[in-house]
């Protein structure tokens, strides 16, 4: 079960769409036996990034999405950040004391796009969104 909460100004239609998208993405990415996950989706104001994923604990995450992006980019961002939720949940990605860990080993590459967790998220974001759209949500995305 996934409990999705929204923070910021979301229309009812967008809440429904993003809730369904988050549930779909995480149901694909997480192991089938996960019992419960709480996800906050927060609209943020940022000129630089589209989104961010913060783990509060193994079963509770916050995904921030740039409110200045169009709905398609916001959904791509949700898919991308959902991959990071999966990575945190499975212990593939972590942080402790300002050090990032990938598969339990300290990892640093100043070129963020080359980090393995970002490579995986970029590879899966479009696939996840296309699968979601193919389920019949393409008309809703035009909101």
Q: What is the dihedral of CA 97, 98, 100, 101, to 10 degrees?
A: -10
Query: Would you say the pTM of this structure is higher than 0.85?
Result: yes
DSSP classification of residue 62: E
In this predicted model, which residue has the larger pLDDT, 135 or 122? 122
How does pLDDT run across 61-76, given as a tens digit for each residue? 999 999 999 999 999 9
- Quote the CA–CA distance of 89 and 55 in Å, as a whole number: 9
CB of 18 within 8 A of CB of 10? yes
- pLDDT score, position 46: 80
How does pLDDT run across 84-115, given as a tens digit for each residue? 999 999 999 999 888 899 999 999 877 888 89
Q: In which element (H, E) is residue 123 found?
A: helix 116-132
């Amino acid at each position: 079960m996934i409990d999705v909460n929204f923070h910021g100004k979301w229309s009812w239609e967008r809440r429904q769409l993003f809730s369904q998208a988050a549930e779909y993405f995480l149901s694909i990415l997480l192991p089938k036996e996960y019992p419960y996950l709480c996800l906050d989706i927060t609209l943020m104001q940022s000129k630089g990034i589209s989104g961010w994923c913060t783990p509060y604990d193994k079963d509770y995450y916050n995904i921030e999405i740039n409110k200045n992006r169009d709905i398609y980019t916001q959904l791509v961002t949700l898919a991308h950040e959902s991959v990071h939720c999966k990575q945190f949940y499975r212990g593939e990605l972590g942080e402790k004391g300002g050090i990032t860990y990938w598969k339990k080993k300290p990892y640093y590459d100043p070129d963020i796009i080359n980090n393995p967790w970002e490579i995986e998220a970029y590879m899966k974001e479009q696939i996840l969104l296309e699968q979601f759209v193919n389920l019949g949500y393409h008309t809703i995305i035009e909101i």
